[in-house]
Amino acid sequence: MVLVLCIGDLHIPHRAVDLPQKFKQLLVPGKIHYILSPGNLCSQEVLEYFKSVCSNTHITKGDFDDDSSFADNEVLELGDFRIGVCHGHQVVPCGDTDALALLQRRLNVDILVSGHTHEFMAMQHEDRILINPGSATGAFSSLNPSAHPSFVLMDINGSKASVYLYNLIEEEVRVEKMEFTKAASKLI
Amino acid sequence: MVEAMGLEEQARLLQEAGNAVKRNAFFMKKAMDEDNLREALRYSATLLGELRTPTLTPQRYYELYMQAFNELTHLQAFFREERRKGRSYADLYELVQHAGNVLPRLYLLCTVGSCYIRSKEAPAKSVLKDLVEMCKGVQHPIRGLFLRSYLCQVSRGLLPDVGSEFEGDGGSISDAIEFLLINFAEMNKLWCRMQHHASGRDRDRREQERQQLADLVGRNLTYVSQLDGLDFALYQEGVLARVMDQIVSCKDAIAQQYLMQCVIQGFPDDFHLGTLDSLLGILPDLQSGVQVHVVVSSLLDRLARFAASDKAVVDTFNQVDAFGKLTRAAAKVTESENEVPSGDVVAMHAALLSFTGAVYPDRLDLVNKVLTSAYQALEKQAPIKDAKAEKLLVQLLSTPLDNYDVVTVLELANYPSVMSLLRPAKRKEMAVKICQTILRQRTLVSSMEKVEMLLDFISPLVRDTEGLEDDDEFFEEEQNLLARLVHQLVSQDTDEHFELLRAARDRFNAGGPKRLRHTLAPLAFAALRLVRTIKEGTADSKKADGACKTVLQWIHGVAAQLAEVPAAEIALQLYLQAAHAASEVACLELIAYEFFEQAFILYEEAIPDSKAEVTALQSIVGVLHRCRVFTAESRDTLVHKATGYSAKLLKKPDQCRAVCACSHLFWQELPAEEEGDDVAEGVQPPVRDADNVMVCLKRALKIANSAQQQLAVVLKGDHTTPVMLFVEILNHYLFYFEQGNPSITTSVLQSLLELVANEMANENCQKDEALLAFYNSTRNHIAIQKDKGDELAQKFSSLQL
């Protein structure tokens, strides 16, 4: 059982003051095994905060990150899944599921964690899973002006992934759960 | 002598004296049993003679005294017995005076005296007066102090207090007060005299010994305060004036310090409130060694607690102008000739501030007055370097932050001047604290006045401070605080909100490029959000357009300034964000176009390296793809430029991917169904230029081809990257095929599939796992499409894998 935090597009200090207090309370150090972030942290302090929650971080470079140590994309294997992380500003049309699926095939990943749209999403697309944790600060974006803060927790157990979507709506944290199973690889 | 004696020696001496006391007590009690009064008195006098020792330290002397004290209780019982047998106390009172030595004689006299009073044979006041006068016979400080302490103790409960059985014939409350005050004054004299018995070298030890004896002196005042009949008039006229006299005239710092505290802690709050003038008036007359601020602080603390316990007394505070008096007293302390250490001045003002907070929680003007007073008192000593004073000053400045929300604190006009007393580094720490408080409480600063004040408060972060080197380690973190703060400058009124951002920018300008690198971007984003708020909130579309234009032009300026910092990458991203807002929010084509032009200029002239170019171009294409405001001509120009850049990237794979991305610039998404006909004015229909998509994809293939040839030339034919690109291009074909792009026919797709299959047959490709996986996933995707059974599956069915 592996607990994975997917969190991104914080845009601190460019567009947001801080992670919501209610999220900070949830993200206690020592519980989470991996942090996967599609990027746009935008400051060293956010990175340090991530590291304080969990030292095992995989962060890719967003269009507003100037940390050159972040890669364009990262791939790792957890349980039976291959998981890819990529910010998504490289994908045209932005946020389009077919375009994301193309990237997913290129990286050969079962789960793709992307960001950029500030709109959270977790869905099965063809035989793979797309996850966008949204913006953890609900940062303003002209792509999604009414974004509210959100992140995703994934619990990976063998070939099963339970995905919890955390949303902060009107100062209240709402959680939604979705279950995914890795599709048996289909040979042609 | 005493000074040179070790602890062991002291113990031995005490042991010896103690043994003598025990021995004599034994004979005394034996004499008592034999009913031999004369012998009993003789042994008791010898016993008490041990207290004449000149060699014991106060602590050891106390132990010996307690031993003797216990024995004297037996003597009291014996005296009562004697009286029962018919001997009068007057007789005994005479008889004990036969003791040869003055110290034992006076102890015995006090012992009989207490019995005498209790019996009411004589009026309490006369006996007390007699005893307190006679005790003057002992002038050795330690012996005198303990003797008088004994007197005080045995006469407790025998004083002619109001309601006491000794009142009336025995005297009145004023006799009781008189007795205690004379005893107090005499003890204080003895106590002070101890100081002069020490040579310079022993002063510290002597002072320590004196502190141990302080409570003996203070007990007199405690007993006064415990008198039932003590009312305010008596206190003011009969007690305080005399105590104050004694305090001033003794000219002894230790005594003054202790006794002021004694008075403040010992007597009731309302007494203090009524005698503020006397209490405070004496302060300038105290010795220089007295920590006046401690005195004032404890008075302030008491009064603060008093006010907190009973809100009704706040009126009384006002009637006597407690605040004014205390503030003036504080000021006076600092003006006195002796230079008061800065730490003490600050501590006193800190107490004054918490007093003000407790008594007048709503009176910000008074808080401001305290700050003024603190500033005036410390101005000459600025900058405060003393570590303790500095720490206390930071605490003083933090108090309002803890008690009020920051916006309220911003009304304290004198706050920045008090901050200016600190050394530059501390001043900056304070500024950081203010920022952190605002950010933690998420306080919104909504008026121009408050914003200007805030920026004054935190000026050490906003601009260079003389005498302060920027610490690289924290500089970015500090500037990020400032950057985050921008999002708290918010007004409901969009015009005012914009003014707030302008004001902040004006101030930030003074910070120079190294700060602007961090602080400009948040201003631009706040303004971008404002554009949307204006557009959505303004009914009159002309007015909205005008306002949006103004803000967008301002953002243009901010981005240009950022480019000059220089920070070209983020400036370019800002231009793109602004272009998107101009297009999709404000529907202002010319402005959106201008933003793209600026982004292009930066792309051409200022992007530092090829890696940054790739990212910048990805963003350009991504944003341009989403813009729907451009008419055909301007769109062509922009798209043409972007595709041109793609072909000029350094690496072939980057070129190839960029061209694929550019193909989408000719193929915009159809509007979502719910949007329908309800398209905003100025929005152009989506571009669906199948031919040009094809041109781009073919160009991508060409690049992949040439990459392959290039590798062949340098004999790296085993390199599989070009095949990876072919597979990737194939995927883009599939994307358009699914989208129904008429240029991508089944036969076009089929031939590409075959081309890729041929390439994949290569041995090297079969060894490349990533490539194989990508290829197989692609084929798998086609298989899935075939299986779907929908319209699209029909199209896919004729494809041969």
What per-residue confidence (pLDDT) applies to B340?
74
Is the sign of the CA dihedral B658, B662, B667, B671 positive or negative?
positive
Which of B439, B585, B778 is facing A142, going by the closest CB pair?
A: B585
What per-residue confidence (pLDDT) applies to A145?
84
- How far, CA to CA in Å, does B24 sit from each of B33, B65, B109, B112, B364? 14, 14, 18, 19, 70
What per-residue confidence (pLDDT) applies to B443?
93
Tell me how close the Cα of A163 comes to any Cα of chain B, in angstroms.
24
Cis peptide before A93 (omega within 30 of 0): yes
CA A48 to chain centre: 17
Best of A18, A96, A112, A142 to substitute, by most chain B Cβ atoms within 10 angstroms, is A142
Structure tokens that stand for B59 in this block: 């602590």
* Pairs across A and B, CB distance < 8 A: 113
- Residues in B touching A101 (Cβ below 8 Å): 781
Mapped onto helix, strand or coil, the DSSP state of residue B670 is: coil
d(CA B727, CA B310): 83
Does A89 contact chain B (CB < 8 Å)? yes
Residue A185 has pLDDT above 60, yes or no: no
Residue B337 has pLDDT above 60, yes or no: no
Report the relative pairing of strands A160-169 and A150-157 from DSSP bridges: antiparallel
Structure tokens that stand for B90 in this block: 């007057």
What per-residue confidence (pLDDT) applies to B676?
54
Q: What is the pLDDT of residues A21-35, one digit of tens each?
A: 999 999 999 999 999
Q: Tell me, letter by letter, the H, E, C secondary structure of B207-258.
A: HHHHHHHHHHHHHHHHHHHHCCCCCHHHHHHHHHHHHHHHHHHHCCHHHHHH
Q: How confident is residue B468, by pLDDT bands cut at 50, 70 and 90?
A: confident
Is the sign of the CA dihedral B191, B195, B196, B197 positive or negative?
positive
- Residues in B touching A102 (Cβ below 8 Å): 728, 731-732, 735
CB contact under 8 A, A17 and B584: no
Q: How confident is residue B135, by pLDDT bands cut at 50, 70 and 90?
A: very high
Report the relative pairing of strands A111-114 and A81-86 from DSSP bridges: parallel
Which of B480, B484, B770 is facing A108, going by the closest CB pair?
A: B770
Does A28 contact chain B (CB < 8 Å)? no
B341 against A139, higher pLDDT: A139
What per-residue confidence (pLDDT) applies to B580?
96
Residue whose token pair is 């007060």: B177
d(CA A122, CA A129): 7
Kindly state the average pLDDT of the residues B466-474. Answer: 76
What per-residue confidence (pLDDT) applies to A85?
98
Question: Looking at chain A, which residue has its C-alpha nearest residue B616?
Answer: A63
**Other CB atoms within 10 A of residue A24 CB:** 12
What per-residue confidence (pLDDT) applies to A187?
46
Sequence-distant (6+) residues with CB within 8 A of B351 are B293, B296, B297, B300, B301
Question: Looking at chain A, which residue has its C-alpha nearest residue B529?
Answer: A140
Tell me how close the Cα of B744 comes to any Cα of chain A, in angstroms.
17
Q: Tell me if B375 sits within 8 A of B327, measured CB to CB.
A: no
Q: Tell me if B475 sits within 8 A of B483, measured CB to CB.
A: no
**Which DSSP category does B727 fall into?**
H
Best of A10, A11, A17, A104 to substitute, by most chain B Cβ atoms within 10 angstroms, is A17
CB contact under 8 A, A102 and B529: no
Does A48 contact chain B (CB < 8 Å)? no
Tell me how close the Cα of B251 comes to any Cα of chain A, in angstroms.
59
Question: pTM score > 0.95 for this model?
Answer: no
d(CA B411, CA B162): 53
Which of A43, A105, A127 is facing B480, going by the closest CB pair?
A: A43
Domains and CATH numbers, chain A: 2-181 (3.60.21.10)
CA A133 to chain centre: 4
d(CA B377, CA B331): 7
What per-residue confidence (pLDDT) applies to B679?
63
Does A106 contact chain B (CB < 8 Å)? yes
Residue type, B437: T
d(CA A11, CA A18): 9
d(CA A9, CA A15): 10
Give the number of residues written for chain A.
Answer: 188
CB contact under 8 A, B532 and A15: no
CB contact under 8 A, B477 and A45: yes
Which of A13, A18, A92 is facing B625, going by the closest CB pair?
A: A92
Question: Looking at chain B, which residue has its C-alpha nearest residue A67?
Answer: B612
Q: What is the pLDDT of residues B79-108, one digit of tens each?
A: 999 999 888 999 999 999 888 899 999 999
Residue type, B143: R
Strand segments, DSSP code E, in chain A are 2-6, 34-37, 57-59, 73-78, 81-86, 111-114, 121-125, 128-132, 150-157, 160-169, 172-181
What per-residue confidence (pLDDT) applies to B717?
65
- Residues in B touching A149 (Cβ below 8 Å): none
Does A105 contact chain B (CB < 8 Å)? yes
- Residues in B touching A90 (Cβ below 8 Å): 618, 622, 661
Does A49 contact chain B (CB < 8 Å)? no
B193-207, B275-289, B607-621: which range is least confident on average?
B193-207
d(CA B503, CA A134): 33
- Residues in B touching A91 (Cβ below 8 Å): 622
Does A77 contact chain B (CB < 8 Å)? no
Residue B164 has pLDDT above 80, yes or no: yes
Is the sign of the CA dihedral B765, B766, B771, B777 positive or negative?
positive
Residue whose token pair is 């600063």: B445
Kindly state the average pLDDT of the residues B16-42. Answer: 94
Residue B200 has pLDDT above 70, yes or no: no
Report the relative pairing of strands A2-6 and A121-125 from DSSP bridges: unpaired
Tell me how close the Cα of B472 comes to any Cα of chain A, in angstroms.
14
What per-residue confidence (pLDDT) applies to A146?
85
What per-residue confidence (pLDDT) applies to B1?
41
Tell me how close the Cα of A89 comes to any Cα of chain B, in angstroms.
6
The alpha carbon torsion through B382, B386, B390, B391 (nearest 10 deg) reads -170
Sequence-distant (6+) residues with CB within 8 A of A105 are B731, B774, B777, B778, B781
Does A101 contact chain B (CB < 8 Å)? yes
**Which DSSP category does B442 fall into?**
T
- Residues in B touching A11 (Cβ below 8 Å): 525
Tell me how close the Cα of B622 comes to any Cα of chain A, in angstroms.
6
Tell me how close the Cα of A32 comes to any Cα of chain B, in angstroms.
25
Best of A24, A63, A100 to substitute, by most chain B Cβ atoms within 10 angstroms, is A63
Which of B481, B518, B801 is facing A188, going by the closest CB pair?
A: B801
Residue B230 has pLDDT above 80, yes or no: yes
Residue B5 has pLDDT above 70, yes or no: no
Structure tokens that stand for B686 in this block: 């989506």
What per-residue confidence (pLDDT) applies to B674?
58
Which of A89, A140, A186 is facing B529, going by the closest CB pair?
A: A140
Residue B350 has pLDDT above 70, yes or no: yes
CB contact under 8 A, A14 and B521: yes
Kindly state the average pLDDT of the residues B620-637. Answer: 96
The alpha carbon torsion through B108, B113, B119, B124 (nearest 10 deg) reads -170
Q: What is the pLDDT of residues B407-452, one digit of tens each?
A: 889 999 999 999 999 999 899 999 999 999 999 999 999 999 999 9
Kindly state the average pLDDT of the residues B616-629. Answer: 96
Residue B332 has pLDDT above 90, yes or no: no
CB contact under 8 A, A102 and B487: no
Q: Which parts of B690-745 fold into alpha helices (H)?
A: 690-713, 721-739
**Which DSSP category does B420 fall into?**
T
Q: Tell me if B766 sits within 8 A of B772, measured CB to CB.
A: yes
Does A80 contact chain B (CB < 8 Å)? no
Is the sign of the CA dihedral B522, B524, B527, B529 positive or negative?
negative
Q: How confident is residue B729, by pLDDT bands cut at 50, 70 and 90?
A: very high
Q: How confident is residue B55, by pLDDT bands cut at 50, 70 and 90?
A: confident
Structure tokens that stand for B21 in this block: 């006391």
Q: Which of B442, B432, B434, B348 is nearest to B396 (CA)?
A: B348
Is the sign of the CA dihedral B453, B456, B459, B462 positive or negative?
positive
Question: Looking at chain B, which residue has its C-alpha nearest residue A42?
Answer: B480
CB contact under 8 A, B781 and A101: yes
ipTM confidence: 0.96
Which of B518, B661, B728 is facing A92, going by the closest CB pair?
A: B661
Question: Looking at chain B, which residue has its C-alpha nearest residue A21?
Answer: B440
Tell me how close the Cα of B571 comes to any Cα of chain A, in angstroms.
10
Kindly state the average pLDDT of the residues B41-70. Answer: 92
Angle between helices B7-33 and B58-84 (to 10 degrees): 0
φ and ψ at B744, to 5 degrees? -90, 90
- Residues in A touching B626 (Cβ below 8 Å): 93-94, 143
Q: Tell me if A76 sits within 8 A of A33, measured CB to CB.
A: no
Inter-residue long-range contacts of B521-524, CB under 8 Å, 24+ positions, other chains counted:
B521/A14, B521/B483, B521/B562, B521/B570, B521/B574, B522/A13, B522/A14, B522/A15, B522/B483, B522/B484, B522/B486, B522/B487, B523/B486, B523/B558, B524/B555, B524/B558, B524/B559, B524/B562, B524/B574, B524/B577, B524/B578
Within a 13 Å sphere around the CA of B425, how many CA atoms are in the beta-carbon half?
A: 8
Does A179 contact chain B (CB < 8 Å)? no
d(CA B144, CA B635): 106
- Residues in A touching B784 (Cβ below 8 Å): 126-127, 186
Q: How confident is residue B291, by pLDDT bands cut at 50, 70 and 90?
A: confident
Q: What is the mean pLDDT of chain B?
A: 91
Q: What is the pLDDT of residues A139-173, one digit of tens each?
A: 999 888 889 999 999 999 999 999 999 999 999 99
Question: Looking at chain A, which residue has its C-alpha nearest residue B617?
Answer: A90
Q: Which of B634, B619, B627 is nearest to B585 (CA)?
A: B627
- Residues in B touching A61 (Cβ below 8 Å): 615
